[in-house]
Structure 1
């Protein structure tokens, strides 16, 4: 039975989500404060966390930052705010999804199931573990090495590949990649993502990658599949 950590301080919303998640077969630990969420995470790491952005003693972003120091736990942000800057910040912190209130409890359950399916085959990793036998990320120098060879990447090619490499096997939609990679170029068309993926694939092959590392998921987006 998958274990969900729910951080939500509004009783009506918490009760609705608890009923929906438990009816859907999930075990749920509910807390109302940020410090309680971190304590619950330390005591019994869940399979996924749903974090309300605004709670009395802090916010879900701070909880996410603390968790990301040691874990790639799947995280969904739950908030009454729907501003672009909040979505961008949540994604930059490594959130897997972002749900704005009001919402459908069934939709939240469906998103939880989808994220758990995607993360089931993802190897456990720490927030600083961004290496594989094929790819190594040097964030300080903003460069990436493939099969021992430093890739000649443009700024946006580096950002795109680094984003995928930090969360291997996670499927990023075009919209998410636009928010994360082209946040400083809001007028860029979403087809730019496809063009940069094509360029990256060519550079990875040229550097010696024997398999197609960047995978296309029809009507969903792109992921990085690390293979030996």
Structure 2
């Protein structure tokens, strides 16, 4: 199936190589060379995937990813010359679906692109009905999370993880199971991604992220959402600023 891939890379030689590989595989590719151009073309062209370099002039790739995640669930494959885990995980934290460090193999890049293009848009969830656990409401159709009646902003990766856990509260999932259910069976993506999403979710929904009561770690196994009865927010709670 032919897809349209937007390449945001300031190195024009690398950008041209990626475009040639994509076109050889039967896809359409568009090149841009700055962060502002990447935003403009995503909004105008509505591509199927964005290959996004971190070191872009104007807006860097991390800033572009942060902005786009408020607008679209477009798959984003991030390219970076930064090799430290902190830098790589920051991109995933902002909503990138995958990353590759430079230098990379064009064949491996194409394998990851194929995986992302096969992946359905939006997070995987066990069902489409509204999920209610403890103080949480997770609505897979509206892509909304409420904590005691208040909206919680989640990246697509965080939402997918929370939807899977809320669908079966009390069940322990391994990191690999959660990765397969939310990211697809992609051998290239590290299970470390799940730890990043879990840490971010705890900051958003736990009163004390260091001592979680909802998103529980089962040491040596994985994670679970505590199986506690749903409690609706009181009117005075919702009125509190």
Q: Same fold (TM over 0.5)?
A: yes
1:145 to partner: Cα distance = 3.0
Check whether the contact 2:138–2:163 (CA below 8 A) recurs between aligned residues: no
Q: Which moved more, 1:165-174 or 1:26-35?
A: 165-174
Structure 1 runs (4+) greater than 6 angstroms displaced:
none
Matches of residues 119-138 of structure 1 in structure 2 within 5 Å? 119=120, 122-123=121-122, 133-135=129-131
Cα distance in 1 for residues equivalent to 2:61 and 2:220: 29
Distance in 1, Cα, partners of 2:40 & 2:158 = 34
Q: Is the counterpart of residue 178 in structure 1 residue 195 in structure 2?
A: yes
Q: Over aligned residues, Cα RMSD in angstroms?
A: 3.7
Give the superposition deviation at 1:133.
Answer: 2.3
When residues 83 and 40 of structure 1 are mapped into structure 2, their CA distance, relative to the original with a 3 A threshold, is same
CA change 1:46–1:162 in 2 (3 A) is closer
Residues 160 and 182 in structure 2, CA contact (< 8 A), matched pair in contact too: no
- Please show how residues 34-183 of structure 1 align to structure 2 within 5 Å: 34-119=35-120, 122-123=121-122, 133-135=129-131, 143-145=135-137, 162=159, 164-165=161-162, 169-171=182-184, 173-182=190-199
Q: 1:203 aligns with which of 212, 227, 231?
A: 227
Deviation at 1:178, TM superposition (A): 2.0
| Partner secondary structure for residue 47 of structure 2 | coil
Uncovered stretches (5+) of structure 1, i.e. residues with no partner: 125-130, 152-159, 208-228
Per-residue CA deviations over 1:144-178 (Å, capped at 9, x if unaligned) read: 2379xx99xxxxxxxx9756137984347522112
The answer as to whether partners of 1:5 and 1:29 remain within 8 angstroms in 2 is: yes
Aligned counterparts of 1:90 and 1:161: Cα–Cα separation in 2: 13
Rounded Cα–Cα distance in structure 1 between residues aligned with 2:92 and 2:220 = 17
**Counterpart position of 1:154:** none
TM-score, length of structure 2 as denominator length? 0.62
Please list every run of 5 or more consecutive structure 2 residues that lacks an aligned counterpart in the other structure: 140-145, 148-156, 165-180, 201-208, 211-216, 231-241
Provide the TM-score with structure 1 as the length reference: 0.65
Counterpart Cα distance in 1 of 2:70 and 2:199: 25
CA change 1:180–1:29 in 2 (3 A) is same
